[in-house]
Amino acid sequence: MIQRPPALEKLLEILRSLPNVGPKMSERIAFHILRMPEDKIRDFIDILEASHAEVRPCPICGHWDDSSPCRVCQDPSRDKTVLCVVENSQDVQAVSRIKNFKGIYHVLGGTLSPLEGIGPDDLQITSLLKRLETEPIQEVILATNSDMEGESTAQYISKQILSVSAKIRGNGRPEGIKITRPAQGLPSGGELEYMDELTLTHAFDGRREFDRN
Amino acid sequence: MIQRPPALEKLLEILRSLPNVGPKMSERIAFHILRMPEDKIRDFIDILEASHAEVRPCPICGHWDDSSPCRVCQDPSRDKTVLCVVENSQDVQAVSRIKNFKGIYHVLGGTLSPLEGIGPDDLQITSLLKRLETEPIQEVILATNSDMEGESTAQYISKQILSVSAKIRGNGRPEGIKITRPAQGLPSGGELEYMDELTLTHAFDGRREFDRN
């Protein structure tokens, strides 16, 4: 084996620490970076510095943005009574593609995962419950992923909200908070024969009368 | 859609320009970078700057290293009569794992690819031919990949070397230069039933008498 320059070894090491980047891919990316012309690498570094300095989690909802509070929390046209709880900031972006949803968000920053040592205190759950006490929220959509971690996180948060909801009701608020979860079923364009059992079970359990119009 | 911070858009754009990084992956990497603590992002930037400044192609063989000429070209224990021609610097690293090979290298910087507009002048072929005239090279191993581009590049270089070789012979050097190419056949651990037709053809064409000892 030929010894590699220490600077290249360090570059490979830090690239491998990025999500989904394995040894082969780290090499490809490393040599792509080494081959960048001077002005391109300068740009790259400037962009890394600027984005890291400017883009921060919103102190209210946790969505990553360059304004504080974020542009969603500052938007007066949003329906402040419907709050969508998501795992991360990318999910905010995904949900924002739904034309019919004009509510606000709350970013948990992950899901409960006992195996990885992620408990309730590692997620933005306390701040979520605080918001329910102080903001005029009537519905919470628990839009965590429909995998095991997402399901159990939704379960946990739902229970927490119910207790807070009872407290709020005691404090004079007329109704409890409605808790919903996105429907599970066949994805659009999904072919029955390729669907797993759980997806099919959810799709059949949640079947609705066919709309003949 | 919620508008994204311009700094984040720029970060996503430059990440997508890296090899094998698609839209989803660029988002994962971007948020991983945004979440890095201050000292980690500083490290990342320092490593990018240092590696880009220090690691350069060797003026003799084209291998990327932090010394110039590179550590292979400077190594007195290397057999300077056997030159291995490879596509890129990662291939030097791969070939260097072969215990029996102690020769020197020449990095082409790619392969001929008319479709991508890469011709002979875009590769380090002229410098290779110069080396054959001035260095005591007796064998050239054309170790380009065994795909179409690699094969045709090896073909092209072989022809170029033959003409130079004739010239050298005219200049008083006793013999021509031997040109070889790594054997093609079954990869170690390869299962016959999963091999493509071309691999099997090469393996059968190149069959050797079974060694019974």
State whether the Cα torsion B29-A103-A60-A180 is positive or negative.
negative
Q: Taking CB atoms and an 8 Å cutoff, what residues of chain A touch B72?
A: 2
Average pLDDT over residues B189-198: 85
In a shared domain, residues A50 and A119: no
Long-range pairs for A149-157: beta carbons < 8 A, 24 or more residues apart: A149/A111, A149/A112, A149/A113, A150/A87, A150/A111, A152/A111, A152/A112, A153/A87, A153/A108, A153/A111, A153/A112, A153/A123, A154/A181, A156/A112, A156/A120, A156/A125, A157/A85, A157/A108, A157/A125, A157/A128
pLDDT band at B192 (very low <50, low <70, confident <90, very high): confident
Q: Does some domain include residue A1?
A: no
The beta-strand segments (E) located in A8-161 are 56-57, 64-65, 82-86, 104-107, 139-142
* CA–CA dist B128, A185 (Å, integer): 61
Instruction: State yes or no: pLDDT of B169 exceeds 70.
Output: no
Residue A92 and residue B2: Cβ atoms within 8 Å?
yes
* CA–CA dist A9, A15 (Å, integer): 10
In a shared domain, residues B104 and B174: yes
Q: Does some domain include residue A183?
A: yes
Residue reference for tokens 């102690």? B102
Predicted confidence at residue B175, as pLDDT, reads: 58
At A128, is the secondary structure helix, strand, or coil? Answer: helix
Give the number of residues written for chain A: 213
Predicted confidence at residue A83, as pLDDT, reads: 96
Query: Among A211, A202, A198, which Cα is nearest to A183's?
Result: A202
The encoded tokens of residue A127 equal 């701040």
The encoded tokens of residue A97 equal 């593609």
Q: Which residues, at least 6 apart from A7, have a Cβ–Cβ distance to it below 8 Å?
A: B47, B50, B51, B54, B55, B66
Q: Does some domain include residue B1?
A: no
Q: Please give the backbone phi and psi of residue A163, each rounded to the nearest 5 degrees, phi first.
A: -70, -40
pLDDT digits (tens, 9 = 90+) for B111-128: 999 999 999 999 999 999
* CA–CA dist A57, A74 (Å, integer): 14
Q: Please give the backbone phi and psi of residue A142, each rounded to the nearest 5 degrees, phi first.
A: -85, 90
Q: To probe the interface with B, which of A4, A48, A91, A101 has the most B CB atoms within 10 Å?
A: A48
Q: Which A positions 161-180 lie with beta carbon below 8 A of chain B?
A: none
ipTM rounded to 2 decimals = 0.83
In a shared domain, residues A72 and A146: yes
The beta-strand segments (E) located in chain A are 56-57, 64-65, 82-86, 104-107, 139-142, 178-180
Predicted confidence at residue A169, as pLDDT, reads: 61
Contact status of A208 with chain B (Cβ, < 8 Å): no
In a shared domain, residues B37 and B86: no
In a shared domain, residues A67 and A45: no
Count of structural domains within chain B: 2
Q: Does some domain include residue A177?
A: yes
Task: Kindly report the CATH number assigned to the domain that includes residue A196.
Answer: 3.40.1360.10
Predicted confidence at residue A104, as pLDDT, reads: 97
Do A112 and A153 contact (CB within 8 A), yes or no?
Answer: yes
Burial B7-37 (b: 16+ CB within 10 A, else e): bbebbbebbeebeebeeebbbbbbbebbebe
Q: Indicate the DSSP class of residue A51.
A: H
**The amino acid at A48:** L
Range from B97-101, B153-157, B190-194 carrying the lowest mean pLDDT:
B190-194
The beta-strand segments (E) located in chain B are 56-57, 64-65, 82-86, 104-107, 139-142, 178-180
Residue B2 and residue A51: Cβ atoms within 8 Å?
no
- Tell me the C-alpha to C-alpha distance, in Å, between residue A91 and each of A99, A154, A201, B119: 15, 15, 25, 45
Query: Among B101, B47, B62, which Cα is nearest to B78's?
Result: B101
Q: Which A positions 74-113 lie with beta carbon below 8 A of chain B?
A: 88-90, 92-93, 96-97
In a shared domain, residues B48 and B70: no
pLDDT one digit per residue (tens) for chain A, 213 residues: 889 999 999 999 999 999 999 999 999 999 999 999 999 999 999 999 999 999 999 999 999 999 999 999 999 999 999 999 999 999 999 999 888 899 999 999 999 999 999 999 999 999 999 999 999 999 999 999 989 999 999 999 999 998 877 776 665 454 578 999 998 888 888 888 888 888 888 888 888 888 776
State how beta strands B139-142 and B82-86 pair. parallel
Predicted confidence at residue B15, as pLDDT, reads: 97
Predicted confidence at residue A125, as pLDDT, reads: 96
Higher pLDDT, B56 or A171: B56
Predicted confidence at residue A174, as pLDDT, reads: 43
In a shared domain, residues B137 and B167: yes
Task: Kindly report the CATH number assigned to the domain that includes residue A43.
Answer: 1.10.8
In a shared domain, residues A100 and A33: no
Residue reference for tokens 């031919």? B129
Residues paired with B118 in a beta bridge:
B113
Residue A112 neighbours by CB distance under 10 Å = 21
Residue B27 and residue A2: Cβ atoms within 8 Å?
no
Do B186 and B195 contact (CB within 8 A), yes or no?
Answer: yes
pLDDT digits (tens, 9 = 90+) for B6-50: 999 999 999 999 999 999 999 999 999 999 999 999 999 999 999
Residues paired with A64 in a beta bridge:
A57
Residue A33 and residue B43: Cβ atoms within 8 Å?
no
What domain range includes position B96? 62-209
In a shared domain, residues A77 and A175: yes
Environment class of A86 (CB within 10 Å of its CB; exposed 0-12, middle 13-18, buried 19+): buried
In a shared domain, residues B50 and B72: no
In a shared domain, residues B83 and B37: no
In a shared domain, residues A66 and A163: yes
